[in-house]
């Protein structure tokens, strides 16, 4: 009775809006009733522990915005051989202070062609090469004991062409054909192609694939083996929602919605960021708040910052809880290569101007490449040629530009458009690999300085930081992926490499790269957790330093002020902070400095604080 009562109370708050959106999209009352019945069933079947977490987070809905949040992303198989091995390595994560664990795709997938796990064959079964459902549920329970929230990807846009639905569609079952976008002739696909951009024009040209068994063209936005789902069909929405709730009841607390802008298609449009996408995300948010309010949504949206608020919705009708800070990541790397922080500052000014409900997960590296999507309008205003700038950046981080310290590889190079993306680990892109290969300790030390600078700048931003597993010990690129025919053509596997536990053991040995990076990050993380200037209520803004080589973030709370300074130059710099007075204490160096002239060594970072009236 109590469970039903809780669900009924939440439906009183949300049910009217949910019905309204569902009817607007689908006009199918019977399907809506089936959705509500399914929601009530999953609400009732949540465990006692998850019910308790639901109630706790309903009282503190901004729990994920706390300064104690520190994330890491990893492939469980690469980290520890799978879920069982990961369970045995959780002390390592606790030693790091991790509170947010994002595991890369682990649901059943075809092998070897699975796009890194983003071609899903079964949304409710863990891939047998990674573990079992029982191991996943056991993992979530142990993580909760350690106050670590688990994030999994939910691939909303498509399934693998070996998914049961696709298999039954190829067998001619109309119900399953209708779950995809299939066409007897190329007439309608050709109309789509006129306005629909290609995601991978070099490696997977076109947006449709001919299926010989069905004698139909299938919409395949990403790769031919990934069939796009038809969200015009309410059954698709209901079933995909149930997949999410199934995993939520196993203990998953955050869902990263993969490629969310793509999920609704309409002829005559670019099939991205359409209004119906926001209706679907809003319904998902309502459903989670009704069934499992402990669970939150993270969106993967690669767009200019000014366009991102739509994916957060409004305070009255929220959508995603948080998004990736993609623009921040790209501009941090651009600043490192150019020793110029003007674009970074401008982008952060835009982000700081967004509505208060916008919240970001900041990161330097992840499983994916670095796409050089900079603000071309701002580049031109600064007299920077966007194309030449992009070419410089990807050649610099490839290591082929003269005097580059980086080592990386290109991804999806297009000789016609001269577009390309970059791959590599943080340590390799910062110069640690080059110095180590050349046996030059001075280069290695400078690489460590760059590595820690990049993390310090990232941690100074509004939002919380997510590390890429291996970055905490300075793991470098792994070129062995070229020896495997299944991965050789995808340079992203350069930084998708097995975790080096032998190197990790050196994190306690002074004088090693692993020790210096581990200890440097631990110090930053400890300061973030305890200093009120990193709390939820802090006011955050950029600050001018009178030099484009030094980036500054100012954080204030009543009674305390902090300025985070980052010297992106390989030369000493003197930062001047206009209109700031008094004396500040450097939390890292333990010395007192004046804002009228703060000296910074090459690639030095300072977090300086002072007490204020207030």
* Cα–Cα distance, 298 to 320 (Å, whole number): 6
How many secondary structure helices (H) and strands (E) does the chain include? 22, 26
The CA distances from residue 482 to 147, 400, 415, 498, 501, in Å, are 38, 19, 22, 14, 22
300 among known catalytic residues: yes
Backbone φ, ψ for residue 13 (5° rounding): -75, -35
Of 121, 300, 340, 398, catalytic: 300
Strand partners, 607: 564
SS3 category, 376: helix
258 among known catalytic residues: yes
CB burial string 192-211: b at 16+ within 10 A, e below: beeebeebeeeebeebbbeb
Of 135, 153, 258, 289, catalytic: 258
Q: For the chain, percent helix, then strand, then coil, each to nearest 5?
A: 45, 20, 40
* Cα–Cα distance, 614 to 609 (Å, whole number): 15
**Long-range Cβ contact pairs of 208-211 (< 8 A, separation 24 or more):** 208/183, 211/170, 211/182
SS3 category, 523: helix
* Cα–Cα distance, 5 to 289 (Å, whole number): 15
* Cα–Cα distance, 565 to 572 (Å, whole number): 13
Task: Give alpha helix (H) positions in 431-556.
Answer: 432-437, 441-460, 501-504, 513-530
Q: Could you give the angle at the alpha carbon of 454 between the alpha carbons of 103 and 143, nearest 5°?
A: 25
Catalytic residue positions?
258, 300
């Amino acid at each position: 009775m109590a469970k039903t009562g809780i669900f009924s109370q939440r439906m009183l708050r949300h049910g009217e809006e949910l019905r309204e959106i569902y009817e607007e999209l689908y006009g199918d009352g019977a399907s809506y009733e089936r959705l509500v019945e399914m929601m009530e069933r999953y609400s009732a079947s949540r465990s006692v522990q998850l019910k308790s977490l639901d109630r706790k987070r309903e009282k503190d809905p901004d729990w994920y915005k706390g300064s104690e949040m520190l994330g890491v992303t990893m492939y469980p198989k690469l980290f520890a051989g799978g879920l069982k091995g990961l369970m045995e390595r959780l002390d390592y994560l606790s030693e790091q202070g991790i509170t947010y664990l994002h595991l890369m795709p682990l649901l059943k997938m075809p092998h070897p062609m699975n796009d890194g796990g983003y071609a899903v064959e079964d949304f409710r079964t863990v891939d047998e090469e990674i573990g079992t459902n029982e191991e996943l549920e056991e993992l979530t329970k142990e993580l909760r004991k350690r106050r670590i929230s688990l994030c999994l990807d939910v691939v909303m846009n498509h399934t693998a062409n070996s998914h049961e639905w696709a298999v039954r569609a190829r067998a001619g079952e109309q119900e399953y054909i209708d779950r995809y976008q299939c066409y007897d002739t190329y007439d309608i696909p050709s109309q789509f192609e006129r306005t629909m951009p290609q995601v991978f024009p070099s490696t997977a040209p076109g947006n449709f694939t001919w299926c010989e068994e069905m004698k139909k063209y299938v919409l395949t936005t990403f790769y031919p083996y990934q069939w796009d789902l038809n969200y015009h069909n309410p059954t698709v929405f209901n079933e995909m929602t149930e997949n999410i709730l199934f995993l939520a009841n196993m203990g998953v607390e955050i869902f990263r919605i993969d490629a969310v802008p793509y999920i609704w298609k309409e002829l005559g449009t670019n099939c991205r960021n359409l209004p119906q996408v926001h209706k679907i995300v809003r319904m998902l948010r309502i459903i989670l708040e009704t069934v499992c309010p402990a669970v939150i949504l993270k969106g993967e949206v690669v767009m200019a910052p000014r366009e991102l608020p739509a994916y957060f919705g409004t305070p009255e009708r929220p959508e995603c809880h948080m998004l990736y800070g993609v623009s921040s990541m790209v501009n941090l790397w651009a600043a490192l290569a150019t020793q110029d922080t003007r674009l970074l500052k401008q982008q952060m000014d835009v982000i700081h101007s967004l509505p208060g409900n916008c919240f970001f997960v900041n990161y330097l590296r992840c499983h994916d490449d670095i796409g050089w999507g900079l603000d071309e309008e701002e580049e031109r205003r600064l007299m920077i040629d966007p194309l030449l700038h992009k070419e410089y950046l990807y050649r610099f981080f490839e290591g082929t530009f003269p005097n580059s310290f980086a080592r990386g590889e290109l991804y999806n190079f297009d000789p016609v458009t001269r577009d390309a993306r970059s791959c590599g680990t943080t340590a390799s892109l910062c110069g640690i690999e080059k110095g180590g290969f050349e046996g030059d300790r001075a280069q290695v030390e400078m690489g460590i300085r760059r590595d820690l600078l990049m993390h310090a700048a990232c941690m100074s931003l509004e939002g919380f930081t997510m590390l890429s597993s291996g970055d905490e010990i300075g793991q470098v690129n792994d070129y062995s992926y070229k020896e495997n025919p299944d991965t050789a053509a995808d340079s992203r596997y350069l930084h998708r490499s097995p975790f080096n536990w032998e190197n990790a053991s050196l994190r306690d040995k002074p004088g090693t790269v692993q020790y210096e990076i581990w200890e440097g990050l631990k110090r930053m993380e400890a300061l973030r957790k305890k200093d009120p200037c990193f709390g939820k209520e802090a006011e955050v803004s950029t600050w001018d330093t009178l030099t484009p080589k030094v980036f500054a973030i100012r954080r204030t709370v009543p009674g305390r002020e902090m300025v985070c300074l980052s010297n992106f130059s390989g030369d000493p710099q003197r930062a001047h902070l206009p209109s700031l007075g008094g004396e500040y204490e450097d939390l890292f160096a333990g010395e007192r400095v004046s804002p009228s002239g703060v000296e910074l060594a090459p690639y030095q970072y300072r977090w300086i604080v002072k007490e204020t009236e207030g």
